[in-house]
C-alpha cells in the first residue's frame, strides 16, 4: 500500500495553533484523501507566522497532493497565497475577473455597513491575487479557492471556514491537475462493521483469531461514541476482496450479538426508522442525561414524524408529577433504581401518549454518590407495546462521560428492543 500518492494537509489559522478552536478541516480532508486512494501523510496546523507557514508549505509541496486551508482573507495576516507562490517558485498576478467578482460582493457589503468602498479596495485586490498559472475554483464567501499544478502533482488552496471549504472541495477534484494525481491513486473499497456492547480489545482479539488483516486488506478498530467501528480498506483486485469477504464473515459470525450496522447511519436514525416502520410514536423520560437523549433524537430531520416529546424530570417532584412515578417507589428504592427507571418509561408512554419510551436515571456526579450507589451508576429502561428491556451500568467516570455513555446506551437499548424483540434479553 506504500505506493499510494501522498497527501499532505496544511491548516493555517492562529486561533487553531493556539488551541482556541478545534480544527475540523484536517480530519475532513484526511478522510477524503484516504477514500480517494491517497495516503494521508500528515496534517500540519500552523499559525500566521510567515516563517512557520512557509516551512510547512515547502514540506507540503513535496507531497503528490498538498491541500491548504485558511489564510485567504483580505488582511496582511492572511499570507497563504504569497507564501505558497514563493514556495512553489512562481510569481503572483491579479486575476481581473476575480477582482470584479469580489469587488461586487464587497461593494454590497460596504453599502450595508455604510462605509466607503475605498476601505475595501486593497483587500479586494489582495484576494483577487493568485499564483501565476493557478486555476480559480470560484468564490465561497469573498475568498477564492484555487488549484496550482506542482512539480509533484497539485496544490489545492481552500478557504478556512469549514462550510466554504467543503463547498469548493468537489470543484478542486475536477481540475486537471488533481485528476492527474488521482489517476495514480487506488481508491480502496471501504466496508464498516459497527458493534455495540463489546470492548475494543475483544474485537482486536476476534480480528487476530480471524487471521488478522493483510493480503490487500487493512483493518482498523476504532472506538467512536461508545461504539466500536471496524473499518476494512480493501485494495482493488480479486484476491483482496476474497480475503475481505472471509474476514468480514468471520467477524460477523463471532461478533453477531454486537453487530448492528454495516454503514455510518447514526443510531438515532436507526431508532426513528424502526419506529416509523411499525407506525409507533416515541417519547423520552430523562433524569441524569437531562435532555441529551431527546436532543440526539431530534437532531434527525423529520424526527417529528415519530418523536412526540419528552420529560426531563430532574427533581423527584417532577418524576411524580409529570411521569406518575409513585412516591412510594421513590422512597423505597430511591430515584436511581431499576424500579424507578421502569416506572419512568411506563409513565412517559401513558402521560405523553407514546407507543415507545426510554428512560434514564443515574448519578452523573461528581457529587451525590454513596457506597451502595456510587457516581457512575445508571439505570435505563425501554418499553414498546410488545416488549420491555432494562439495562444498567456502573463506570468510574467524569460527569460528561457518564452522561454521554448513558445517552448512547439509551439509544441502543431502544434500537435493540425495537429490532430484536424476538430475542431473549442478553
- Our CB check for a copy of itself shows the closer of 301 and 371 to be 301
Of the residues 96, 116, 118, 224, which one makes contact with a copy of itself according to CB under 8 A: 224
Locate cell 423529520: which residue? 302
Question: Residue 16, interface with a copy of itself (CB under 8 A)?
Answer: yes
Contact status, residue 146 vs residue 134, Cβ threshold 8 Å: yes
Contacting residue, 297, 325, 329, 357, with a copy of itself by CB under 8 A: 297
> Applying CB under 8 A, does 307 fall inside the site for a copy of itself?
yes
Q: Which of 24, 185, 252, 338 binds a copy of itself (CB under 8 A)?
A: 24
Give the Cα separation of 378 and 65 in Å (integer).
48
- Is residue 361 a contact residue for a copy of itself (CB under 8 A)? no
Report, in Å, the least distance between residue 22 CB and a copy of itself: 6
What are the DSSP calls for 397-417, one per residue? --HHHHHHHHHHHHHHHHHHH
Q: Examine residue 286 and tell whether it contacts a copy of itself (CB under 8 A).
A: yes
* 274 vs 285, beta carbon nearer a copy of itself: 285
The answer to the question of residue 60 lying near a copy of itself (CB under 8 A) is no
* Burial of 315 per CB tally in 10 Å (0-12, 13-18, 19+): exposed
Query: Is the Cβ of residue 176 or residue 211 nearer to a copy of itself in the bound state?
Result: 211
Residues 309-328 that bind a copy of itself (CB under 8 A): 309-315, 317-318, 321-322
> Is residue 56 part of the contact set for a copy of itself (CB under 8 A)?
yes
Closest CB 216 distance from a copy of itself, rounded Å:
17
Q: Is 390:419 a contact under the CB 8 Å cutoff?
A: no
Q: Is 32 in the site for a copy of itself (CB under 8 A)?
A: yes
Query: Which residues in the 90-129 window bind a copy of itself by CB under 8 A?
Result: 113
Strands 356-362, 282-286: parallel, antiparallel or unpaired by DSSP?
parallel
Q: What angle do CA 8, 14, 16 make, to 5 degrees?
A: 60
425 to 34, 154, 235, 278: CA distances (angstroms): 39, 55, 39, 21
Tell me phi and psi for residue 369, to 5 degrees: -85, 155
- Residue 284 sits in the site that holds a copy of itself (CB under 8 A): yes
Q: Is 46 in the site for a copy of itself (CB under 8 A)?
A: yes
Does 403 engage in binding with a copy of itself (CB under 8 A)? yes
Q: Which stretch binds a copy of itself (CB under 8 A): 29-37, 100-108, 133-141, 383-391?
A: 29-37
Q: What does the buried/exposed string (b/e) look like for 72-81 if buried means 16 or more CB atoms within 10 Å of the residue's CB?
A: bbbeeebbbb
Decide if residue 301 touches a copy of itself (CB under 8 A). Answer: yes
For 324: left if phi > 0, alpha if psi spans -120 to 50, otherwise beta; the answer is left
Amino acid at each position: 500500500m506504500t505506493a499510494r500518492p501522498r497527501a499532505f494537509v496544511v491548516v493555517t489559522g492562529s486561533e487553531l495553533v493556539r488551541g482556541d478552536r478545534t480544527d475540523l478541516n484536517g480530519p475532513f480532508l484526511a478522510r477524503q484523501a484516504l477514500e480517494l486512494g491517497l495516503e494521508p501523510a500528515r496534517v500540519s496546523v500552523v499559525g500566521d507566522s510567515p516563517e512557520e507557514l512557509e516551512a510547512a508549505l515547502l514540506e507540503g509541496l513535496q507531497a503528490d497532493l498538498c491541500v491548504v486551508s485558511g489564510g485567504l482573507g483580505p488582511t496582511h495576516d492572511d499570507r497563504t497565497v504569497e507564501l505558497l507562490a514563493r514556495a512553489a517558485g512562481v510569481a503572483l498576478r491579479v486575476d481581473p475577473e476575480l477582482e470584479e467578482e469580489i469587488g461586487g460582493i464587497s461593494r454590497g457589503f460596504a453599502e450595508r455597513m455604510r462605509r466607503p468602498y475605498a476601505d475595501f479596495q486593497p483587500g479586494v485586490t489582495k484576494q483577487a491575487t493568485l499564483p501565476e498559472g493557478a486555476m480559480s475554483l470560484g468564490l465561497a464567501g469573498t475568498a477564492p479557492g484555487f488549484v496550482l499544478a506542482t512539480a509533484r502533482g497539485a496544490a489545492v488552496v481552500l478557504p478556512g471556514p469549514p462550510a466554504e471549504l467543503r463547498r469548493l472541495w468537489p470543484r478542486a477534484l475536477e481540475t486537471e491537475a488533481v485528476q492527474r494525481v488521482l489517476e495514480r491513486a487506488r481508491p480502496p473499497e471501504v466496508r464498516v462493521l459497527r458493534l455495540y456492547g463489546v470492548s475494543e480489545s475483544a474485537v482486536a482479539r476476534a480480528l487476530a483469531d480471524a487471521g488478522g488483516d493483510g493480503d490487500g486488506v487493512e483493518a482498523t478498530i476504532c472506538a467512536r461514541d461508545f461504539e466500536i467501528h471496524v473499518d476494512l480498506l480493501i485494495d482493488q483486485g480479486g484476491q483482496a476482496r476474497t480475503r475481505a469477504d472471509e474476514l468480514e464473515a468471520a467477524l460477523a459470525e463471532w461478533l453477531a450479538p454486537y453487530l448492528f450496522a454495516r454503514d455510518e447511519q447514526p443510531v438515532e436514525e436507526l431508532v426513528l426508522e424502526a419506529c416509523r416502520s411499525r407506525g409507533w410514536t416515541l417519547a423520552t423520560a430523562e433524569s441524569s442525561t437531562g435532555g441529551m437523549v431527546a436532543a440526539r433524537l431530534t437532531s434527525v430531520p423529520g424526527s417529528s414524524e415519530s418523536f412526540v416529546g419528552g420529560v426531563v424530570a430532574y427533581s423527584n417532584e417532577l418524576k411524580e408529577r409529570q411521569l406518575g412515578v409513585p412516591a412510594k417507589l421513590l422512597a423505597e428504592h430511591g430515584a436511581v433504581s431499576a424500579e424507578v427507571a421502569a416506572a419512568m418509561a411506563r409513565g412517559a408512554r401513558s402521560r405523553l401518549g407514546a407507543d415507545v419510551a426510554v428512560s434514564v436515571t443515574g448519578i452523573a456526579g461528581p457529587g451525590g454518590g454513596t457506597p451502595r450507589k456510587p457516581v457512575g451508576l445508571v439505570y435505563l429502561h425501554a418499553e414498546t407495546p410488545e416488549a420491555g428491556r432494562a439495562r444498567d451500568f456502573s463506570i468510574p467516570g467524569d460527569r460528561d462521560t457518564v452522561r454521554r455513555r448513558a445517552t448512547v446506551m439509551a439509544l441502543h437499548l431502544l434500537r435493540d428492543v425495537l429490532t430484536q424483540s424476538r430475542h431473549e434479553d442478553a
